[in-house]
Amino acid sequence: MDHTEDTAALEPDPDARLMLAARAGDEEAFRALFRKHAPRLVGYADRFFRNRAVAEEVVQEIFLRVHRARGGYEPRARFTTWLYTIASRVCLNELRRRRSRPEDGLAQASAEAAPDPGTIPGAEAALAGRELEGVVQRCLDRLPEHQRLALVLTRFGEHAYAEAGELLGVSEAAVKSLVFRAASAVQQALAEAGADVPGAGGPR
Protein backbone atom coordinates (compact mmCIF):
# COMPACT_ATOMS: atom_id res chain seq x y z
CA MET A 1 0.00 0.00 0.00
CA ASP A 2 1.29 3.45 -0.94
CA HIS A 3 1.28 5.49 2.27
CA THR A 4 2.59 8.52 0.39
CA GLU A 5 -0.77 8.96 -1.35
CA ASP A 6 -2.63 8.52 1.96
CA THR A 7 -0.49 11.19 3.60
CA ALA A 8 -1.01 13.56 0.69
CA ALA A 9 -4.75 13.06 0.88
CA LEU A 10 -4.71 14.16 4.51
CA GLU A 11 -2.72 17.33 3.87
CA PRO A 12 -4.71 20.59 3.79
CA ASP A 13 -5.33 22.11 0.37
CA PRO A 14 -3.40 25.34 -0.43
CA ASP A 15 -6.32 27.54 0.64
CA ALA A 16 -6.62 25.67 3.91
CA ARG A 17 -2.92 26.23 4.52
CA LEU A 18 -3.43 29.95 3.97
CA MET A 19 -6.33 29.89 6.41
CA LEU A 20 -4.20 28.09 8.99
CA ALA A 21 -1.59 30.81 8.53
CA ALA A 22 -4.32 33.43 9.02
CA ARG A 23 -5.41 31.60 12.16
CA ALA A 24 -1.84 31.99 13.41
CA GLY A 25 -1.99 35.74 12.81
CA ASP A 26 -0.71 36.09 9.23
CA GLU A 27 -2.91 38.89 7.85
CA GLU A 28 -1.26 38.72 4.42
CA ALA A 29 -2.44 35.11 4.13
CA PHE A 30 -5.97 36.27 4.87
CA ARG A 31 -5.70 39.03 2.26
CA ALA A 32 -4.49 36.44 -0.26
CA LEU A 33 -7.64 34.38 0.39
CA PHE A 34 -9.78 37.48 -0.05
CA ARG A 35 -8.11 38.40 -3.35
CA LYS A 36 -8.54 34.87 -4.67
CA HIS A 37 -12.14 34.17 -3.65
CA ALA A 38 -13.89 37.54 -3.37
CA PRO A 39 -14.52 38.05 -7.12
CA ARG A 40 -16.25 34.69 -7.54
CA LEU A 41 -18.20 35.18 -4.31
CA VAL A 42 -19.47 38.54 -5.59
CA GLY A 43 -20.82 36.74 -8.65
CA TYR A 44 -22.33 34.07 -6.41
CA ALA A 45 -24.02 36.62 -4.13
CA ASP A 46 -25.23 38.60 -7.13
CA ARG A 47 -27.39 35.62 -8.13
CA PHE A 48 -29.31 36.14 -4.89
CA PHE A 49 -29.72 39.91 -4.98
CA ARG A 50 -29.28 40.97 -8.63
CA ASN A 51 -27.54 44.07 -7.35
CA ARG A 52 -23.76 44.35 -7.59
CA ALA A 53 -23.42 46.86 -4.76
CA VAL A 54 -25.42 44.66 -2.39
CA ALA A 55 -23.43 41.58 -3.47
CA GLU A 56 -20.15 43.37 -2.71
CA GLU A 57 -21.43 44.40 0.72
CA VAL A 58 -22.49 40.83 1.44
CA VAL A 59 -19.05 39.51 0.44
CA GLN A 60 -17.46 41.96 2.88
CA GLU A 61 -19.72 40.49 5.59
CA ILE A 62 -18.78 36.95 4.53
CA PHE A 63 -15.07 37.66 4.93
CA LEU A 64 -15.67 39.49 8.17
CA ARG A 65 -17.26 36.31 9.50
CA VAL A 66 -14.41 34.22 8.11
CA HIS A 67 -11.93 36.48 9.89
CA ARG A 68 -13.85 36.23 13.16
CA ALA A 69 -14.03 32.43 12.84
CA ARG A 70 -10.34 31.98 12.03
CA GLY A 71 -9.41 31.08 15.61
CA GLY A 72 -11.58 27.95 15.53
CA TYR A 73 -10.80 26.93 11.97
CA GLU A 74 -9.83 23.30 11.38
CA PRO A 75 -9.19 21.89 7.89
CA ARG A 76 -11.68 19.02 8.18
CA ALA A 77 -12.92 19.62 4.62
CA ARG A 78 -11.86 21.64 1.59
CA PHE A 79 -11.54 25.33 2.40
CA THR A 80 -14.04 26.25 -0.32
CA THR A 81 -16.64 23.96 1.27
CA TRP A 82 -16.22 25.78 4.58
CA LEU A 83 -16.18 29.18 2.85
CA TYR A 84 -19.32 28.59 0.80
CA THR A 85 -21.15 27.21 3.81
CA ILE A 86 -20.61 30.59 5.48
CA ALA A 87 -21.40 32.43 2.24
CA SER A 88 -24.68 30.59 1.70
CA ARG A 89 -25.77 31.26 5.27
CA VAL A 90 -24.95 34.97 5.01
CA CYS A 91 -26.71 35.30 1.64
CA LEU A 92 -29.86 33.58 2.86
CA ASN A 93 -29.97 35.59 6.07
CA GLU A 94 -29.56 38.84 4.16
CA LEU A 95 -32.18 37.76 1.63
CA ARG A 96 -34.68 37.00 4.40
CA ARG A 97 -33.88 40.31 6.08
CA ARG A 98 -34.51 42.25 2.88
CA ARG A 99 -37.72 40.37 2.14
CA SER A 100 -39.05 41.25 5.58
CA ARG A 101 -38.86 44.98 4.79
CA PRO A 102 -42.02 46.60 3.39
CA GLU A 103 -39.80 48.26 0.74
CA ASP A 104 -36.15 48.12 0.18
CA GLY A 105 -36.10 50.65 -2.60
CA LEU A 106 -33.43 48.92 -4.66
CA ALA A 107 -35.67 47.94 -7.58
CA GLN A 108 -37.33 51.37 -7.60
CA ALA A 109 -33.98 53.16 -7.57
CA SER A 110 -32.74 50.96 -10.40
CA ALA A 111 -35.85 51.69 -12.48
CA GLU A 112 -35.58 55.43 -11.86
CA ALA A 113 -31.93 55.42 -12.88
CA ALA A 114 -32.59 53.56 -16.15
CA PRO A 115 -32.47 55.76 -19.26
CA ASP A 116 -35.30 55.95 -21.79
CA PRO A 117 -34.95 52.86 -24.07
CA GLY A 118 -36.04 54.97 -27.03
CA THR A 119 -32.81 56.98 -26.82
CA ILE A 120 -30.42 53.98 -26.95
CA PRO A 121 -29.44 52.06 -30.12
CA GLY A 122 -30.33 48.37 -29.75
CA ALA A 123 -32.33 49.12 -26.61
CA GLU A 124 -35.24 46.85 -27.51
CA ALA A 125 -33.03 43.76 -27.58
CA ALA A 126 -31.30 44.84 -24.37
CA LEU A 127 -34.65 45.47 -22.71
CA ALA A 128 -35.91 42.04 -23.80
CA GLY A 129 -32.79 40.49 -22.25
CA ARG A 130 -33.36 42.38 -19.01
CA GLU A 131 -36.99 41.27 -18.95
CA LEU A 132 -35.95 37.64 -19.32
CA GLU A 133 -33.40 38.10 -16.53
CA GLY A 134 -36.24 39.45 -14.43
CA VAL A 135 -38.33 36.36 -15.21
CA VAL A 136 -35.46 34.10 -14.12
CA GLN A 137 -34.84 36.08 -10.95
CA ARG A 138 -38.50 36.08 -9.95
CA CYS A 139 -38.57 32.34 -10.48
CA LEU A 140 -35.43 31.90 -8.36
CA ASP A 141 -37.02 34.03 -5.64
CA ARG A 142 -39.99 31.65 -5.48
CA LEU A 143 -37.95 28.44 -5.32
CA PRO A 144 -37.61 26.55 -2.02
CA GLU A 145 -34.30 27.48 -0.41
CA HIS A 146 -32.54 24.14 -0.99
CA GLN A 147 -33.56 24.10 -4.67
CA ARG A 148 -32.32 27.63 -5.13
CA LEU A 149 -29.04 26.97 -3.35
CA ALA A 150 -28.44 23.77 -5.31
CA LEU A 151 -29.01 25.56 -8.61
CA VAL A 152 -26.92 28.60 -7.69
CA LEU A 153 -24.06 26.49 -6.33
CA THR A 154 -23.85 24.20 -9.35
CA ARG A 155 -24.67 26.62 -12.16
CA PHE A 156 -23.20 29.88 -10.86
CA GLY A 157 -20.86 28.85 -8.03
CA GLU A 158 -19.32 26.22 -10.33
CA HIS A 159 -19.52 23.43 -7.75
CA ALA A 160 -19.90 19.79 -8.71
CA TYR A 161 -22.93 17.89 -7.40
CA ALA A 162 -20.89 16.19 -4.67
CA GLU A 163 -19.45 19.51 -3.47
CA ALA A 164 -22.89 21.12 -3.40
CA GLY A 165 -24.12 18.12 -1.42
CA GLU A 166 -21.43 18.72 1.20
CA LEU A 167 -22.46 22.36 1.49
CA LEU A 168 -26.16 21.57 1.76
CA GLY A 169 -25.75 18.51 3.96
CA VAL A 170 -27.50 16.20 1.49
CA SER A 171 -26.49 13.38 -0.84
CA GLU A 172 -25.21 13.87 -4.37
CA ALA A 173 -28.39 12.22 -5.68
CA ALA A 174 -30.50 14.68 -3.69
CA VAL A 175 -28.59 17.61 -5.24
CA LYS A 176 -29.25 16.24 -8.73
CA SER A 177 -32.96 16.05 -7.91
CA LEU A 178 -32.98 19.58 -6.47
CA VAL A 179 -31.17 21.01 -9.51
CA PHE A 180 -33.48 19.19 -11.92
CA ARG A 181 -36.60 20.53 -10.20
CA ALA A 182 -35.18 24.07 -9.96
CA ALA A 183 -34.00 24.10 -13.59
CA SER A 184 -37.38 22.76 -14.73
CA ALA A 185 -39.16 25.56 -12.86
CA VAL A 186 -36.91 28.18 -14.48
CA GLN A 187 -37.45 26.68 -17.93
CA GLN A 188 -41.20 26.66 -17.43
CA ALA A 189 -41.13 30.31 -16.35
CA LEU A 190 -39.11 31.24 -19.44
CA ALA A 191 -41.39 29.24 -21.72
CA GLU A 192 -44.42 31.02 -20.25
CA ALA A 193 -42.64 34.31 -20.96
CA GLY A 194 -42.25 33.28 -24.60
CA ALA A 195 -38.51 32.67 -24.50
CA ASP A 196 -36.78 30.12 -26.70
CA VAL A 197 -35.08 28.00 -24.04
CA PRO A 198 -32.57 25.16 -24.59
CA GLY A 199 -32.66 21.96 -22.55
CA ALA A 200 -31.99 22.05 -18.82
CA GLY A 201 -28.70 20.23 -19.02
CA GLY A 202 -26.72 19.75 -15.83
CA PRO A 203 -23.63 20.87 -13.97
CA ARG A 204 -20.40 18.93 -14.03
User: How do the pLDDT tens digits run along the chain, 204 residues long?
Assistant: 444 433 344 467 999 999 999 999 999 999 999 999 999 999 889 888 888 999 999 999 999 999 999 999 999 888 998 999 899 889 888 887 877 764 444 443 343 333 443 444 444 444 455 566 667 777 777 888 888 888 888 877 668 898 888 888 889 999 999 999 988 888 888 788 765 544 444 444
Asked if the domains at 10-106 and 124-195 fall in one CATH topology, the answer is no
Q: What's at 123, amino acid-wise?
A: A
Sign of CA dihedral 72, 78, 80, 81: negative
pTM of the model: 0.64
**What's the CATH number of domain 10-106, 3.20.20.70, 3.40.50.10320, 1.10.1740.10, 2.40.10.120?**
1.10.1740.10
The phi, psi pair for 152, rounded to 5°, reads: -65, -40
Give, in order, the Cα–Cα distances in Å from 35 to each of 15, 29, 174. 12, 10, 33
Q: What is the third-level CATH fold of 124-195?
A: Arc Repressor Mutant, subunit A (1.10.10)
Domain boundaries, the chain: 10-106, 124-195
